[in-house]
Structure 1
Amino acid sequence: MPSDLPLDELSTLFARIQGMLLTEESVAHAVDLLAQAIRETIPGAVGAGVSLMDSQGIRTSTGSTDGLVVAADELQYRLGNGPCLEAWAAAAPVRSDDLGTEIRWPGWSGPAAEMGLRSVVSVPLLYKTEILGAIKVYSSLTGAFDGHSEHLLTLFAGPTATLLANVQSTEVPHRASRELKDAIATRDSIAFARGILMERKGVSSDEAMRELILLSRSNGHSLRRVSEQVIMSVRSRERS
């Protein structure tokens, strides 16, 4: 498919996705087909996946184009960090142009690069006030994705989230659960800590985020834990 899909072609594609999700016996298989459509649409993508929450509230890659995507995603879930989980928690697109030099996700980026993955874009699946998960594409080339790639993936995310939220199946996470609440809490903690650093140090939002990432890497802690430590340090000062 061309990189700049016309509106009528996107509409046809979304109609096809809606049909597959509502008619397939297995929602999991339907989401595999959805991942395939995403890979075919985003230029440079060698793999794609849809990360949802299963009926037990556990993060899992319920739709993917191949085993490499599954392996990369399962490593994220095991470590508790990675682009998909960050897009999920922050409710915002996340992109890396070179996983070989990426510092935001300690323990994940290096192994992902060794698997042959060098670029990634992930965007959240948002439905009303709920975060259902995230969709992502991987490439074997550095710098494979750009703002237009994010835009195309975001175009997929809106209708995909709406369709998944309305499919009546226990395989589809359309209700808040413990894991979903935890993801939202992570997003809020990071945003709060970033605001504290911006005010305290007079830095921009991006600079504050970079500082949190560096703290996370140097301490070996998750972004949420580092953010909570920043918040607690301010509250301790207020009490003293």
Structure 2
Amino acid sequence: MGPSRDAALLTAIAAELQEHPTEDGTVADVLDRAVALLPPADHASLTVRRRHVGWDTAGATSALAVRADELQYALEEGPCVEAYAAADRRTSDRVADDPRWPRWGPAADDLGVRSVLSIGLEARGERVGSLNLYAGTPAGFADPAVAELARLYAVHASYALHSAHRREGLESAIATRHVIGLAQGVLMERFGLDQERSFALLQRLSSTHNRKLRDICEELVRTGDTPGLAAGPDTGPDTGPDTGPD
């Protein structure tokens, strides 16, 4: 495959990666195409760093790839965590003998991983993840042409994943605001609350029941139930409705 053909193929792939309606669909397509585009890769995965969770595999083409990732998280060493942290590339022709990862390398070799290429993904100044390619043969990514094609593909994958994440986050935020507004409307009509007091009541219900605000609102809109409020919305002296003098 020559440079001009590579460029045309990557341009077509980049456009197709943007077509998925969900973030999960984009992740799956990015990984499937990586294995198809780069024949040395037998398995692929995407490592991300989630708030309050830590390292996580957002998607993988096989159970072996998931296990190879999880070993790195547990041992706190390996190419994918380093590539993510540095937004750079980490490769090894023989993981079993690589001195950089004295614990992960032999463990990965036991799984059947002989060589690896991990590329940190970044788009618009934000970390996106680490694309991890695992090969069952030594020196699977030693060919400079393969490494360069992987690098170019990673650039397109970064922007596709970033766009999918932002799009899904925006859609989720819009949906959340919408359902909160509907729930406020239910409370305002039922208890004569204003907008500020109805929102304070929803927050109190979320805290009392230890549930997400969106879940409380969705249930209220769906069922019309306001558990614990049969006697009225006791939202405290500053937010409760005016019941008049005793």
TM-score range, shorter chain: 0.5 to 0.7
What is the aligned partner in structure 2 of residue 163 from structure 1? Answer: 160
Q: What is the aligned length?
A: 166
Task: Measure the CA separation in 1 of the matches of 2:103 and 2:24.
Answer: 29
Q: Verify the 8 A CA contact 1:125 1:134 in the aligned structure 2.
A: yes
> Is residue 26–residue 160 contact of structure 2 (8 Å, CA) maintained in 1?
no
Change (3 A) 1:82 1:31: same
Shift of 1:108: 0.6
Residue 3 of structure 1 and its aligned partner are, at CA, apart by 8.1
Q: Offset of 1:130 from its aligned partner?
A: 2.2
Using the TM superposition, give the Cα deviation of residue 50 of structure 1 relative to its aligned residue in structure 2, in angstroms.
1.5
Partner of 1:128: 124
| Aligned position for 1:67 | 63
**Consecutive unaligned residues in structure 1, runs of 5 or more:** 171-240
Which structure has more relative contact order (CA 8 Å, sep 6+)? It is 1
Q: Deviations over 1:24-69 (max 9, x none)?
A: 4xx2243122101001111211011121233545221112111000
Tell me if 1:86 matches 2:82: yes
Look up the SS of the partner of 1:8 in the other structure: helix
Aligned-residue identity in percent: 28
SS in 1 for 2:156: helix
* Residue aligned with 2:96, SS: coil
Partner of 1:98: 94
Q: Is the 8 A contact 1:76 1:85 kept in 2?
A: yes
Offset of 1:157 from its aligned partner?
1.8
- Secondary structure of 1:142's partner? coil
| Cα deviation, residue 143, structure 1 | 1.0
Aligned counterpart, 1:217? none
Cα 1:78/1:15, change in 2 over 3 Å: same
Equivalent position SS for 1:81: coil
Q: CA offsets per residue over residues 159-189 of structure 1, 9 Å max, x none?
A: 222222233235xxxxxxxxxxxxxxxxxxx
CA positional deviation for 1:126? 1.1
Rounded Cα–Cα distance in structure 1 between residues aligned with 2:68 and 2:2: 25
Secondary structure of the equivalent of 1:136?
strand
Of 116, 133, 136, the residue aligned with 1:137 is 133
Counterpart pick for 1:76 among 72, 75, 80:
72
Deviation above 4 Å: which 4+ runs of structure 1?
Answer: 2-5
Note the 1:183-198 alignment, pairs <5 A.
none
Question: Structure 2: any 5+ residue segments left out of the alignment?
Answer: 170-246
Pair member with larger Rg: 2
Supply the distance in 2 between the matched residues of 1:135 and 1:75 (Cα, whole angstroms).
16
Q: Distance in 2 between matches of 1:29 and 1:126?
A: 19
Equivalent position amino acid for 1:130 in 2? E
| SS in structure 1 at match of 2:97 | coil
CA contact (8 A) 1:3 1:42 kept: no
- Report the AA paired with residue 80 of structure 1: E
